Chains A and B, each alone.
Chain A
Amino acid sequence: MSANVDPVAERVHGVADGLTRLIGEARSARAARDEAAGSDGASAVCAWNHFENIPTFYNWNNRPR
């Protein structure tokens, strides 16, 4: 499904400016935490946190709880 015909992607692009600001704030917040991408991950504390730096997805909520 291309971005041009994807209604979800269209809505994302429709708030691009605000999203870009929010993502920038999230990036700064992440850098302020020990889990920063590119770190050795030694401070990652939970089963799903460390996957932030690993290209998997399902773990984020196909999760044990």
Chain B
Amino acid sequence: MRGISAVPGYVVMQPTTLCNLDCAYCYLPFRALDQRMPVDVARAVAASVSPWAAANDRFSVVWHGGEPMAAGRAHLAALMAPFTGVEHHIQTNATLIDEDWCAFFTEHEVRVSVSVDGPAARNGARVNRGGAPAYTRILAGIEALRRHGIRFSALCVVSDPRPGLATELYGYFLDLGCDVLGINIEEQEGVNERPNSHPAANVQAFWAELVSAWRADPRIHVREIEWTLRYAGAVLDGTADEVLPRQLDPIPTIAADGRVFLLSPELAGFTDPRYGDFSAGNVLTTPLRQILAGAAESADWVPEYLAGVEACRSSCPYFGFCGGAHAANRYFEHGRFDGTQTNHCRNSKIRLLEGVLDHVRER
């Protein structure tokens, strides 16, 4: 894995900066503002995306926010219209989902992923702008999806990974009826300055317990478990060197104003005296394909980040599993991009892999 691919696997679109919730762990700096993406931005992105989509069996456009549904159905439809041959995905807090939105998802073949952190008591960080718990509205939105037979995925933020939690969470998501589950251990990034250092034994036990719970009833695709087993299987087969892609996926995030942020969506909206605004360009003035063709030099921080990836490669025994600490985690934890191991690495990569091995060892 060397360098950055000129062709992404998917693009992330920010139809609005606004979110109707005000979650305690959110990293987004402008979530109280409704800056909407002009349709011209979507047209510019689509001009580059269409050839990529035509050349690949599957190409995704991920509508992310803010809360993407806060842009409204009419505007979201207008933003989707320029794209052809792509899969549309939406990451939503689910609170705005109703009958009309379900019809919209069906009409536009939108694949839905909801953000929910488990049962009501585990959603304390998820509140509306008045500080009231959002869980009842989250669940109402998910129930609307279920009524309409719309399958969905779930992303769950875990702020305090520890023994005794994973079994409860997995059971909850089994009952919720999601097809796919991703677990994000809370990260210290963006405007979220809450510490994310946890006792190693607690995090490792959390992951080991999750494997046990999943193994007892593996109906759900659990992202972290599947990928860990994929890597472990490759190690056993002697093919571990083939797990990482040959080049980094640039994962371009297109902000509402057309600016492009590579590799880490969480960098959007921030500035730094050393790195400027972190953007690699703006699709309103430069085609996305041109920005990505020069990705390695597209922003001041990117060369430093690539040096950081090489530092991870040469120093970390988990590199083959991980591929290097993520850009935003490096920046928001270390203040720069060429450091190596982050708390995110420890929580979500190292302890994950070791937790899976613990599960196997203890069984």
Contact = CB atoms under 8 A, between A and B. Distances in A.
- By DSSP majority rule, is chain B's interface helix, strand, loop, or mixed? mixed
Contacts of B357: 11-12, 15, 19
A44 B223 CA distance: 13
Contacts of A62: 249, 251, 263-264, 326
Nearest 3 A/B pairs, CB to CB: A46-B153, A29-B218, A18-B360
Interface of B: 9-10, 12, 57-58, 60, 62, 64, 87, 89, 91, 111-113, 115, 151-153, 155, 157, 179-180, 182, 184, 211, 215, 218-219, 221, 223-227, 229, 232-233, 235-236, 238, 240, 242-245, 248-249, 251, 253, 263-265, 317-321, 323, 326, 348-349, 353-354, 357, 359-361, 363
Interface residues of A, number: 47
A57 B249 CA distance: 8
Contact of A35 (B64, B221, B253): B221
Interface in A37-65: 41, 43-52, 54-65
Contact of B226 (A18, A26, A41): A26
A52 to B, nearest CB: 7
A57 B263 CA distance: 13
Contact of A59 (B179, B251, B361): B251
Contact of B244 (A11, A32, A57): A57
A32 to B, nearest CB: 8
25 contacts: A1-B320, A3-B235, A3-B240, A6-B320, A8-B235, A8-B321, A11-B357, A12-B232, A16-B236, A22-B211, A22-B215, A26-B225, A43-B151, A46-B89, A46-B179, A47-B153, A50-B60, A56-B249, A57-B243, A58-B248, A60-B223, A62-B264, A64-B265, A65-B115, A65-B182
